[in-house]
Amino acid sequence: MSDLSEELPRPGSDGDQVETCVVSGAGMHFPWLRKHLDSVAAGGKKKKDFAQTTGACLSLAQEALLQQQWPRAAEFMYSYLQTLEDSDSSQRQAAPNNVETFSAFADQMKNIGVLNYLKAIIFLWADKDDYAYNTEARNILSHSWKTSVHFSALIKTPGVWDPFVKSYVEMLEFYGDQDGARKVLTNYAYDEKFPSNPNAHIYLYNFLKRAKAPRSELLSVLKILYQIVPSHKLMLEFHLLLRKSEKEEHRKLGLEVLFSLLDFAGCTKSVTAWRCLASYLRQTLMANHLGWVQEEWESRRNWWPTFHFSYFWAKSDWKEDKDLAYEKAFVAGTLLGKGCKYFRYILKQDHQDLRKKIKQMKKSVRRYSIVKPAVD
């Protein structure tokens, strides 16, 4: 803990009247912190004291997190940001507002787990028949509602507040305020003042899914996530939603999503992704949409064969996961023809459980391959 916090006057010190945190329409603040800033003498010392004060505020926020004092941490962090907003440019330069500071602060929040207090609420609420526990539960519920006020003020400040947003939304859902939870998540995802944040769209999608929102709303959220992180695991759900759509443009996008997902090395071992692509290639070609497949393959024909369908990968995949190798072999044969090294290697393997499937795969590749055999 930094010694800077010791230089910051605390409420309740000798000779001072205890002042509480004030919450108003304009937000929250610490009168004792504001008073300290206003009392700093002009000149070179002012800049130094401002830096020490704001630094101490950050340190106190981190200390509160370590002690799992979530409302107090939120108050200190919001007060710090409000102080910066109210200061002039020269003062802001003196404040410890670098990226490393905020990254460390965010990491601490994630590692500690800001949702712990919710678990305590639910645990106590479950034992309604015990008077002592029930009384304590009411106290914690009252305290949690006050906490929500602080969270609400904090997350209106542009930034990445994932742990606080998740906590606040779970609290709102716990109290049955579905509209409030939806509004918070929508603002967090779509407010242009906030930085682009994939998690904001993930939280909104999961909420809408729990609320059984219409498919059109789910598609809208996942489409934005696709543009930000096309390799996210939710892209498989996005594909399935698109695949079931009656709109042709959605079904075409469903094919694009699968190809884009498998462009990334981290997804190459996903049996589900390859199975979806194999199945959807059949469906697409049966529906006479050869152009869709050719469009996606055109930009990949020069690098996917080495990236996915080499002889090395055929041997490796067959050894590690035969189901994966089978699905990939069909895709390889469909896109590259029966002369593809990957397809030929898998075709020659003798495996009792897959023997019949491999035979069927050979017939399917002959029927659906987009590479037509040369005419003599």
Report the half-sphere exposure of 57 (CA within 13 A, side-chain side): 28
pLDDT at 217: 97
- Maximum alpha-carbon separation in the chain: 102
194 touches 200 (CB < 8 A): yes
Give the model's confidence band at 373: pLDDT under 50 very low, under 70 low, under 90 confident, else very high.
low
Residue 214 covered by a domain: no
∠ at Cα 305 (253, 366), nearest 5°? 75
The answer to the question of residue 213 being in a domain is: no
**Is there a domain that residue 125 lies in?**
no
Residue range 58-109, pLDDT digits in tens: 777 777 766 767 667 766 766 666 665 555 555 545 455 444 555 555 555 5
Q: Minimum mean pLDDT among 137-141, 280-284, 359-363: which range?
A: 137-141
Which residue, chain included where needed, has tokens 């004060």?
53
Note the pLDDT tens digit of each residue in 315-346. 999 999 999 999 999 999 999 999 999 999 99
Residue 294 within a domain: yes
Return the pLDDT at 134. 53
42 inside domain:
yes
Tokens of 122: 């639910």
Which of 88, 112, 136 is at the close of a domain?
112
Q: Which residue has the tokens 């919001």?
A: 78
**Confidence at residue 85, expressed as pLDDT on a 0 to 100 scale:** 56
Q: Is the pLDDT higher at 37 or at 320?
A: 320
Non-local (6+) Cβ contacts of 33 within 8 A are 8, 53, 57, 79, 83
- Distance CA(59)–CA(55), nearest Å, equals 6
246 vs 137, more confident:
246
What does the DSSP 8-state code read for residue 298? H
CA distance 121 to 376: 77
Q: Which of 112, 139, 172 is the last residue of a domain?
A: 112
Among 87, 112, 137, the domain-final residue is 112
DSSP 319: H
What gap in Å lies between CA 233 and CA 320, rounded to an integer? Answer: 22
How does residue 110 score in pLDDT terms, banded at 50, 70 and 90? Answer: very low
Residue 276 included in any domain: yes
> What is the rounded CA–CA span in Å between residue 52 and residue 56?
6
Q: What percent of the chain has pLDDT over 70?
A: 62
Residue 51 clears pLDDT 50, i.e. is over it: yes
Predicted pLDDT at 255: 98
Task: Tell me if 199 is assigned to some domain.
Answer: no
- Residue 296 reports pLDDT greater than 70: yes
The answer on pLDDT for 145 being more than 90 is no
Range of the domain at 18: 1-112
The mean predicted confidence, pLDDT, of the chain is 76
- 168-216 pLDDT tens trace: 888 888 888 999 999 999 999 999 988 889 999 999 999 999 999 999 9
Write down the pLDDT at residue 185.
Answer: 95
Residue at 332 is within a domain: yes
Angle (CA) 16 20 22, round 5°: 135
CA dist 342 and 348 (Å) reads 10
Question: What is the total count of domains within the chain?
Answer: 2
Cβ atoms of 27 and 84 closer than 8 Å = no
Q: Which of 43-52, 75-84, 284-293, 363-372 has the highest mean pLDDT?
A: 284-293
